[in-house]
Amino acid sequence: MPNKIKVGVIGAGAIAEHAHLMGYSKIPELCEIRAICDVNKDRAEEMAAKFGIKEVYTDHKEMLAKADIDAVSVCTPNKFHASQTIDACNAGKHVLCEKPMAINDEECEAMIEAAVRNNVQLMVGFTHRFYNYNQKAKELIAQGVIGKPFMIRVRFAHEGPYISWPAKSNWFFNKELAGGGALLDMGIHALDIMRFLVGDIKDISANLGTLVRTMEVEDNAICTVNFDNGAMGYLEVGWSSKSGILGIEVYGEDGSMVIDYSTPIKIYVDKKKIIGGPGWIELKDCTGGGWDAEMKAFIQSLQNGTPVPVNGFDGLKGVRLAMAAYKSNAEGRKVSL
Ligand SMILES: NC(=O)c1ccc[n+]([C@@H]2O[C@H](COP(=O)([O-])OP(=O)(O)OC[C@H]3O[C@@H](n4cnc5c(N)ncnc54)[C@H](O)[C@@H]3O)[C@@H](O)[C@H]2O)c1
C-alpha cells in the first residue's frame, strides 16, 4: 500500500464539510486530513473539531508554508480559486479545486500553467461525473446501447443557495465574488456532463434571466449547444425552482436514455440487444457515487501516480463555455468556441 496522502483544505464552508472533509474522512486508510484553513477562525475550528484535524489556519499561504501536506482542496468562493490554486501549485501541492474552476478563461489558463510548471496534478470538482448512474450512462452510450446520440437535454434546478444549499458565507449572489449566478454554479455542471456524455461543444446560445429572486446575478438560464460530432443539446438551470424534474435525457438513433435524478435513480434505455428489453428498463444497480467517489478518485490518482479523472483542461472548457454563454446573452447571438 502506498503512503497515505496528507491533505489540507482551504475554505471550511458547506462544500468542505459535506463533500471534501466528509469524503476524505471516509477513507482513513488512503489519506489523512492534516490541516484546515478559513478566514473565519471559528468555522475552521468547528470543522477541525468535527473531523479531528490538528492544525488550523486563517491564511492559506501560512498553511501551505507550514503544514506537512501533499495536496489541498480549494473550497472557497469562486473569486479565490485561481490565486489559491496557483499558490498551492507553487508550494508543490496537488490541488482539487471546486467548480467553477475560476471566473474567467485567463485564470484557468494560469492555473493549468502553474500545475504543469510545478509538476503537480490539478483536478476540478465536477461531481456529477462521479455519480454511478452517469458513469453507467457513459458506459452504455459507449457500448452503443442507444446508437449514436443526436440530442441531450439537462435540467439541474433547485431553490438555490441559502435555501437548498446551506452556504456559510454571503457570496453566491455577489457578482465580484461569484463571477456569475446559476449558470456559473449549476450550468457549469450541466455543460460538463454534456461534454462527458456526448463530446466537445462547438457553439452555444444563451438566454439568462433574474426572474424570481432579487440579486446581482442570474437565477435562471437556458442554453442550446451544438457538438463537434453533429449532436445538439439544451440545458436549463435555476436557483428559484420548487419541486420539478431533475436529470438528463440522451436520445440516440437506436434508443433513448433517461437519467432521472429523483429517488430512486433510474436509467431507462430502449434497445434490447445489449442489456435486455424490449422497452424501458430500470437499472437498479447504479445509485451512489458522487462526492465520496470524487474525493477517493483524487486521492487514488495521487497514490498511483495516474492522471486525475477530471483535469484542468476540463475545468477550462467548462468556464470557456460559460463565458461564451454570458457573451451570447449579452450580444443576442450564437457564440463559437
Ligand atoms: N461540487 C459541488 O457540487 C458544489 C456544491 C456546492 C458548492 N460548490 C463550490 O464550492 C465552493 C464553496 O462553496 P460553499 O457552498 O462551500 O460556500 P461557503 O460560503 O459555505 O464556504 C466558503 C468558505 O470559504 C471561506 N473563505 C472565504 N474567503 C476565504 C479565503 N480567502 N481563504 C480561506 N477561506 C475563505 C468562508 O469563510 C467560508 O467558510 C464554491 O466554489 C462553490 O461553487 C460545489
Where is 150: in which H helix or E strand? strand 149-157
What pLDDT digit, counting tens, does each position of 89-119 carry? Answer: 999 999 999 999 999 999 999 999 999 999 9
Question: In the prediction, which pLDDT does 222 show?
Answer: 98
Question: In the prediction, which pLDDT does 127 show?
Answer: 98
What residue ranges define each of the domains in the chain, with the CATH number in brackets? 5-126+293-309 (3.40.50.720), 128-289+319-336 (3.30.360.10)
Least confident of 3-7, 66-70, 142-146, 193-197: 142-146
- Residue ranges of the alpha helices (H) in 144-234? 175-178, 182, 188-197
Question: What average pLDDT does range 241-261 have in this prediction?
Answer: 90
Cα 209–Cα 214–Cα 218 angle in degrees, nearest 5: 25
Average predicted confidence (pLDDT) for the chain? 94
Question: In the prediction, which pLDDT does 121 show?
Answer: 98
* Residue 87 burial class via C-beta count within 10 angstroms: exposed 0-12, middle 13-18, buried 19 and up: buried
Question: What average pLDDT does range 29-37 have in this prediction?
Answer: 98
Confidence bin at 324 (pLDDT 50/70/90):
very high
Question: In the prediction, which pLDDT does 266 show?
Answer: 64
Ligand 1 atom nearest residue 15's Cα: 16
What pLDDT digit, counting tens, does each position of 212-239 carry? Answer: 999 999 999 999 999 999 999 999 999 9
Atom 37, ligand 1: residue with shortest CA distance: 40
Quote the ligand 1 centre to 12 CA distance (angstroms). Answer: 7
Quote the ligand 1 centre to 249 CA distance (angstroms). Answer: 30
Which residues line the pocket of ligand 1, CB cutoff 6 A? 10-16, 37-40, 43, 60, 75-78, 80, 98-99, 125, 127, 165, 167-169, 171, 185
Atom 4, ligand 1: residue with shortest CA distance: 15
In this predicted structure, the answer to whether residue 274 has a pLDDT above a threshold of 70 is no
9, 10, 15, best to mutate for ligand 1 pocket (most atoms within 8 Å of CB): 15
* Residue 267 burial class via C-beta count within 10 angstroms: exposed 0-12, middle 13-18, buried 19 and up: buried
Distance of CA 188 to CAs 9, 37, 98, 234, 277, Å? 22, 26, 11, 13, 34
Question: In the prediction, which pLDDT does 284 show?
Answer: 75
* Residue 152 burial class via C-beta count within 10 angstroms: exposed 0-12, middle 13-18, buried 19 and up: buried
- Cis ω before 100 (30° cut-off from 0): yes
Question: In the prediction, which pLDDT does 29 show?
Answer: 97
Question: In the prediction, which pLDDT does 270 show?
Answer: 66
Coil, helix or strand at residue 195: helix
Here the cell at position 161 is 443557495
Question: In the prediction, which pLDDT does 273 show?
Answer: 56
Which residue in the block uniquely carries the three cell numbers 446581482? 216
Ligand 1 atom nearest residue 169's Cα: 19
In this predicted structure, the answer to whether residue 265 has a pLDDT above a threshold of 70 is no
Between residues 82 and 261, the one the model is more confident about? 82
Quote the ligand 1 centre to 76 CA distance (angstroms). Answer: 4
* CA distance from start to end of the chain: 44
Quote the ligand 1 centre to 247 CA distance (angstroms). Answer: 24
Ligand 1 atom nearest residue 10's Cα: 33
* pTM (2 d.p.): 0.96
Ligand 1 atom nearest residue 37's Cα: 33
